Amino acid sequence: MSTLTQSPAWRALQAHQPIMAQHHLRDLFNQDPHRFDKFSLLFNDILLDYAKHPVNQQTIDLLLALARQQHLENWITRMFSGDKINQTEHRAALHIALRAAHPVFVDGVDVIPEVKQVLQQITRFVNAVRSGEKKGYSGKAFTDIVNIGIGGSDLGPVMVTEALKPYGSPHISVHFVSNIDGSQLSETLRQLNPDTTLFIIASKTFTTQETITNANSARHWFLTHGGSDNDIAMHFVAVSTNQSAVEQFGIHAENMFPFWDWVGGRYSLWSAIGLPIAMAIGMENFSSLLAGAREMDQHFMIAPLEKNLPVMLGLIGIWQINFFGVTSHAILPYDQYLHRFPAYLQQLEMESNGKRITRDGEVFDYNTSPVVWGEPGTNGQHAFYQLLHQGTQSVSADFLAPCQSHHPIGNHHRLLLANFFAQTEALMRGKNESEVRNELISQGIPEASRKALLPHKIFPGNHPTTSILFKKLDPKTLGSLIALYEHKVFVQSVIWNINPFDQWGVELGKQLAGKILSDLNQTETVNSHDSSTNGLMNYFKANQ
Ligand code: G6Q
């Protein structure tokens, strides 16, 4: 038994769970008409409603006691003050410094002047490209930016660029290439002209196989479609922490935008990794994105735990995962611009907290990150919501939506939100036997058919959802929303005693492919692996 599951706060929650599990969510709402007032929070224009979870005031008090037992406040202070809380990599985790307005120290040195310096470098470059002052080799302004990066060097920038499309420049298109599958690069380059295309090679380590392979192929395309070696400096820039590898690739140090080892890949969109975002939306909007995150940081740092949005979002997740057995969590944005938000959060949550041992190397006897997935509503309603309503798995979900649309055409937005509210209500209430029977009677269905149909039309309900509403998806609100989730993940990591800032599983993947590649390059039949892997590799070799 782990220290956590034997601890008083954990045991108190365990004892409390059967009491709450007896109540259907609809009964909790029937018993207390003030649930929404009690179990929702507002920060700026972001409303967080967690009333549709099986909680009462005692549940909240017990969850807060767990947070205090795990020294959450102390961990928050440690993160903000630059302690090396990523202990397996001996690093601080200071994405908050990238948007901070106050000094932040690493090893006794304030990192903010350096952060500002890079931000100025980005500002000069972005302004020069967007204004057309900086030109390509033929003297034409740049029209297309291709960001080549993967994982943390891709998902955040893609998600934000898509989310903030209404703020994008009509003169510049930003494209993203991440997959080592040559199809993605080919399909992207097919539409572009080398003389008006700028490549950003984004890689913290500058050793990632996918990125370096794509970057080499992009350079080859550039050189074989009109560009020359001398033009490379004008058309290729790098974002990295590894200057020597960047120079070795052929990009001059002055065309490199640095960042630091205390910025984790999946937390890096606020750094120079955000360069494609800034290219798309301009520096003023990029600053608003940072400001939104900064406001959420300050709230996280100073708000009392019970009024703290990231804390409550994290603790509600703990309640579901560890005491109600939820292993699957859906992210359902009712906003087409947020269509990559589920993929972004999938990495943020699963890479940070998808762990099996504590900070001290103990194997857990409790669950950690659920499987995170999702799609925008209403599309998902016509597909996988069937399982949410009547499946056998316990799934929790976050529903997100803006009150105002960027495109207020006709009745679309009200219909969109009507679906959001209807789904969360239906998931909570369900439809019981007598409701279904009355419905079938009112439809005039004969008794024999009624009997056969009845069980199929029952919805158990009692499915937990969190709702997040905000005024409009603008850069500042998006910055706050992302920071909300970053800190939620941190809160959960503290409860579970996980280091959320390393990713040894991802590192493993980087090594494995390299080993197999040398076998694929040989002409002989492969027989050094298990029979399945040998069989697959030999089939591929015969048919490639
Ligand atoms: C993120 C992970 C991982 C990483 C990619 C790309 O937190 O570490 O997704 O971002 O593997 O790594 P590079 O930026 O070093 O190419």
In the 8-state DSSP scheme, what is residue 50? -
CA 208 to centroid of ligand 1, rounded, Å: 8
| C-alpha span between 243 and 524 (Å, rounded) | 39
pLDDT tens digits along 252-281: 899 999 999 999 999 999 999 999 999 999
According to the model, what pLDDT value does residue 506 have? 85
According to the model, what pLDDT value does residue 509 have? 82
Structure tokens at 401: 């939506």
Structure tokens at 81: 């003050």
- Whether the CB of 355 sits within 6 Å of ligand 1: no
> Using CA positions, which residue lies closest to atom 9 of ligand 1?
151
Q: Helices marked H in 33-111 — which ranges? A: 35-38, 57-69, 72-80
Among the listed residues 174, 258, 239, 159, the one whose alpha carbon sits nearest the alpha carbon of residue 485: 159
| Residue the block writes with tokens 């199929």 | 456
CA 263 to centroid of ligand 1, rounded, Å: 11
CA 413 to centroid of ligand 1, rounded, Å: 37
| C-alpha span between 380 and 202 (Å, rounded) | 32
pTM: 0.97
- Whether the CB of 153 sits within 6 Å of ligand 1: yes
Amino acid in the structure at residue 198: L
| C-alpha span between 138 and 194 (Å, rounded) | 9
Segments of the chain with pLDDT less than 70: none
The minimum-distance atom of ligand 1 relative to the CA of 149 is 16
Q: Which of 200, 208, 259 gets mutated to test ligand 1 (max ligand atoms within 8 A of its CB)?
A: 208
According to the model, what pLDDT value does residue 256 have? 97
The minimum-distance atom of ligand 1 relative to the CA of 351 is 7
Among the listed residues 163, 123, 153, 369, the one whose alpha carbon sits nearest the alpha carbon of residue 267: 153
According to the model, what pLDDT value does residue 44 have? 98
According to the model, what pLDDT value does residue 514 have? 77
H or E stretch covering 198: strand 197-202
CA 272 to centroid of ligand 1, rounded, Å: 14
- Whether the CB of 466 sits within 6 Å of ligand 1: no
Cβ(145)–Cβ(200) below 8 Å: yes
Which residue numbers are catalytic? 351, 382, 510
- Whether the CB of 266 sits within 6 Å of ligand 1: yes
- Whether the CB of 265 sits within 6 Å of ligand 1: yes
Among the listed residues 500, 475, 370, 398, the one whose alpha carbon sits nearest the alpha carbon of residue 95: 500
Structure tokens at 97: 């410094």
According to the model, what pLDDT value does residue 90 have? 95
Among the listed residues 262, 247, 238, 249, the one whose alpha carbon sits nearest the alpha carbon of residue 114: 262
| Residue the block writes with tokens 């194997």 | 363
| C-alpha span between 26 and 77 (Å, rounded) | 39
According to the model, what pLDDT value does residue 518 have? 86
Q: Helices marked H in 81-133 — which ranges? A: 112-131
Among the listed residues 92, 207, 215, 149, the one whose alpha carbon sits nearest the alpha carbon of residue 347: 149
According to the model, what pLDDT value does residue 511 have? 81
